[in-house]
Amino acid sequence: MEEQVVTLPWSTRKRLHYLEFKLFWEGRVNRGDLTAEFGISIPQASVDFTKYQELASNNIAYNPSAKHYVPTEAFHPIFIKLSADAYFSRALSSASVENSSSFDINYIDTVPSPTRIVNMTILKSIIQAIKFKQKITVDYRSFKNPQAGNNRFISPHAFGYDGFRWHVRAYCHSDNKFKDYVLGRIVSVSNPSDSDVDSTTDKQWFNFIDVIIGPNPKLTDDQKHIVAMDYGMIDYKLNINCRIALLWYLLKKLGIDVNESTRSGEEQQIVAINRDEIIVAMNQ
C-alpha cells in the first residue's frame, strides 16, 4: 500500500490528503467537499473516493442515510499526520487561501504580528553565498553601529528563525568568531569570493542541548499540575532539544529568565530546570 501511495500523481495525493483530513478531524466527508475545494467534477470526486477505499478500506465507511462517509473504529492514517500542530497548520494555510472552502476565517485565526522586512535581492545573494561557500561584505546596521558603511566581512552558512525574525549564522572575519546577524538589518551585500572557513567548526550551531523545563516552583501544586498538563510534561518535566546557537532565542520565546527571576509564578509559569548547564553551554 505504501508503494501505491508514493506513486500517486501529486494532484491525486493532494485531494486524498484533504479527503482523509476531513474524514478524521470533522468525522464526515462527501464528494461535494472535494468538488468545492478543488473545482473538480462529481465523477472525478467519485474516482478519488474509490481510490481512497482501495488504499485504506478499513478507514472509511459510507452512511447511506446521511449520504456522507465516516471514519471507522479501525482508522489509521496513510496521508495525514495525527497531531494538533498538523491540524492547525493545515487549517491556517487553508484559511489563508482565497478560494478555499475548508475553513471560515471566523472559525480559526492567529494573533497578528508585524512583518519583518527582508530584501529579496539581499536574501538571494546570501543564499548563493551559503550554497557556494563564499565570503561576502555586508553593510550591517546594529544598535551599536547604526550608521551607514558599517561593513562586516562574513562567511554565512545557515539561517535561523526565532519565531519573530530571521537571522544569518556566519563567521565574522572581523571578530574571528561565528555570530548571528538579523537578516532585515543587512542593507547591502557585495564582493563575493571563495571562503576558506569550515562551517562545521561552528560548534554552537552543530551541537545540541536538552533544555529541561518544568513548572515554576513558586506555583501551588494544583497550578503546577495545570502547567504540566498544558505542556504534556512527564513527571513535571519536558525536554526540548535545541541548537546551542539558538538557546538564547528559545529562552526568550518561552519567557524564561536565564538569571534568577523575581517574577511571580503566574507571570513566569515555567523555568529551566537545568539552568546551570544551559548557561555553561551558552558561554562556551
What's the predicted TM-score (pTM) here? 0.79
| Average pLDDT, rounded, for the chain | 91
Q: For 5, phi and psi rounded to 5 degrees?
A: -65, -45
Q: How far apart are CA 217 and CA 69, in angstroms?
A: 49
pLDDT in tens, 35-62: 999 999 999 999 999 999 999 999 999 9
Q: Is the domain covering 2-95 a CATH 1.10.3210 domain? A: no
- 37: closest CA among 81, 113, 108, 93? 93
To which residue does cell 516552583 refer?
217
Q: Is the pLDDT of residue 113 over 90?
A: no
pLDDT band at 91 (very low <50, low <70, confident <90, very high): confident
Residue spans of the domains in the chain: they are 2-95, 120-200, 207-282
To which residue does cell 500500500 refer?
1
Instruction: State the pLDDT at residue 147.
Output: 84
Q: How far apart are CA 123 and CA 164, in angstroms?
A: 17
pLDDT in tens, 173-214: 999 999 999 999 999 999 999 999 999 999 999 999 999 999
Q: Is the domain covering 120-200 a CATH 2.30.30 domain? A: yes
Pairing of strands 134-140, 151-161: antiparallel
Instruction: State the pLDDT at residue 6.
Output: 63
pLDDT in tens, 232-281: 999 999 999 999 999 999 999 999 987 777 889 888 999 999 999 999 99
C-beta of residue 245 within 8 angstroms of C-beta of residue 160: yes
Give the containing element (helix H, strand E) for 271.
strand 270-272
pLDDT band at 97 (very low <50, low <70, confident <90, very high): low
For the beta carbon of residue 29, count every other beta carbon within 10 angstroms: 23
pLDDT band at 284 (very low <50, low <70, confident <90, very high): confident
